[in-house]
Amino acid sequence: MVIKCTANCGKNAALKRPKTGDALCKECFFWAFETEIHETITSGNLFSPGNKVAIGASGGKDSTVLAYVLKVLNERYNYGIELILLSIDEGITGYRDDSLDTVKQNKIDYNMPLTILSYKELYGWTMDEIVAQIGRKNNCTFCGVFRRQALDRGAAQLKVDCIATGHNADDIAETVLMNVLRGDLARLRRCTAVITSGEGTIPRVKPLKYTYEKEIVMYAHFRKLVYFSTECVFAPNAYRGHARTLLKDLEKVRPSVIMDIIHSGETLQISKTAKMPQVGVCKSCNFVSSQEICKACFLLQGLNRGLPKLGIGKTSKSKKMLAEQEAKDKLLLNDSDKSCNNCTCNKSNKEINKSNISDQNSLKSLSILKDVDLF
């Protein structure tokens, strides 16, 4: 049976919109999809004329569609913004190296400059190396914390006015669910914001905030956009996976659940008496942090000191781990003038320990971390 496009254009419908249930032809779907994003941009005042905007580009469907649609809308509505692609190379063989090829193709197709920053150059570690140290359980904690800061660093280098990210409506609904389940009030309060900014930070904007993931896939398919769709080779974040499964199950019986959850997050009033973290600057790297030492520096110090679990899990556990390591370091230093009794090398412990300590960068780490109230 032929179904006519409900936008009254006279053409046959090509699809049923997951978000509204409307039967539309391809052109009317494109128009509706792009217009909704334009409305999110204008109602949220995401951009001003003359703004330099970095698009966080991973080569995946969301950021590819974001780059394409921002280009279209910038030309159609004369936003007067300059668009730049900013990619982070986490150093994941078989995943990011391939997806970055897609971003390089986007650069050519959309005629936008591209900057790629790697974890290796920023932190001295690739994700492959980190996973070799910590295993596959907490890899996404490292990756997520490092990526967030890497984007900020890239944006600061490029002197952009804001970073546009490809977070879609499903991502935001999942994040609301996760924050409710974790009781994380600080994140719950800000996770639905279309612009997130704070003192000393470059604002992040989410033009796809109300765009359903299924429609992004449809749009990319019908527009024949080139994107990378393989999952990361490391285990995906398990907790988000549960929230995603729950959301998909709910969506089957009530398609509006995604918008409903976002709306709930937006209108939620959090008690004024709830304790919220104070935002300041990391003593070590000067990037924004709610702790004296930011999570990225903390995780990095753990890696460099051979304590990769430092910064993961409870504060008390981290404090205990750090205290044990400090005690060991002190013992090594006090012992340093005595000679080595383990073999016949005749070297003093000082000589032997010197190389161990510099390998782990321990003293440097110790001076950064010693007077810090750990979280």
Q: How far apart are CA 279 and CA 276, in angstroms?
A: 9
179, 187 Cβ separation under 8 angstroms: yes
294 binds, among ligand SF4, Zn ion, none (CB under 5 to 8 A by kind): Zn ion
Rg of the chain in Å (alpha carbons): 24
Q: Which stretch binds ligand SF4 (CB under 6 A): 25-33, 64-72, 232-240, 287-295?
A: 232-240
169, 259 Cβ separation under 8 angstroms: yes
Q: Which stretch binds ligand SF4 (CB under 6 A): 138-146, 167-175, 187-195, 219-227?
A: 138-146
Residue 122: CB minimum distance to ligand SF4, A:
15
User: Smaller CB distance to Zn ion: residue 85 or 294?
Assistant: 294
Q: Report CA-CA distances (Å) from 41 to 163, 207, 209, 225, 266.
A: 13, 6, 10, 22, 17
Q: Which stretch binds ligand SF4 (CB under 6 A): 137-145, 166-174, 291-299, 327-335?
A: 137-145
Residue 127: CB minimum distance to ligand SF4, A:
6
Residues 96-135 that bind ligand SF4 (CB under 6 A): 127
Q: How far apart are CA 228 and CA 239, in angstroms?
A: 24
284 binds, among ligand SF4, Zn ion, none (CB under 5 to 8 A by kind): Zn ion
The single residue listed with the structure tokens 């078989």 is 94
Q: Which stretch binds ligand SF4 (CB under 6 A): 17-25, 234-242, 288-296, 317-325?
A: 234-242
User: Smaller CB distance to ligand SF4: residue 119 or 219?
Assistant: 119
* Other Cβ atoms within 10 Å of 87 Cβ, number: 27
**Residue 372 found at the interface with Zn ion (CB under 5 A):** no
Which of 72, 232, 285, 288 is in the footprint of Zn ion by CB under 5 A?
A: 285
282 binds, among ligand SF4, Zn ion, none (CB under 5 to 8 A by kind): Zn ion
- Cβ-Cβ contacts under 8 Å for 246 (sequence gap 6 or more): 177
Which of 24, 173, 247, 297 is in the footprint of Zn ion by CB under 5 A?
A: 297
- Cβ-Cβ contacts under 8 Å for 358 (sequence gap 6 or more): none
**Residue 287 found at the interface with ligand SF4 (CB under 6 A):** no
Helix (H) or strand (E) holding 114: strand 114-118
Q: What is the dihedral of CA 212, 213, 217, 218, to 10 degrees?
A: -20
**Residue 216 found at the interface with ligand SF4 (CB under 6 A):** no
Structure tokens at 198: 């704070």
Q: Which pairs count as long-range contacts for 193-198, CB under 8 Å and 24+ apart, including other chains?
A: 194/40, 194/44, 194/46, 195/44, 195/45, 195/46, 195/162, 198/279, 198/288
Residue 17 has φ and ψ, to the nearest 5°, of: -65, 125
Q: Which stretch binds Zn ion (CB under 5 A): 112-120, 163-171, 194-202, 287-295?
A: 287-295
Residue 163: CB minimum distance to ligand SF4, A:
17
Nearest to 370 by CA among 336, 329, 334, 340: 329
Helix (H) or strand (E) holding 221: helix 213-223
**Residue 234 found at the interface with ligand SF4 (CB under 6 A):** yes
Which of 57, 140, 368, 374 is in the footprint of ligand SF4 by CB under 6 A?
A: 140
Question: Which amino acid, one-letter code, is at 336?
Answer: S
Residue 141: CB minimum distance to ligand SF4, A:
8
**Residue 143 found at the interface with ligand SF4 (CB under 6 A):** yes
User: Smaller CB distance to Zn ion: residue 67 or 297?
Assistant: 297
Residue 229: CB minimum distance to ligand SF4, A:
14
**Residue 90 found at the interface with ligand SF4 (CB under 6 A):** yes
**Residue 139 found at the interface with ligand SF4 (CB under 6 A):** yes
User: Smaller CB distance to ligand SF4: residue 150 or 205?
Assistant: 150
Q: Report CA-CA distances (Å) from 295 to 95, 162, 199, 252.
A: 25, 22, 18, 37
Which of 23, 282, 303, 374 is in the footprint of Zn ion by CB under 5 A?
A: 282
Query: Can you give the binding site for ligand SF4, defined by CB under 6 A?
Result: 90, 127, 139-140, 143-144, 232, 234, 236-237
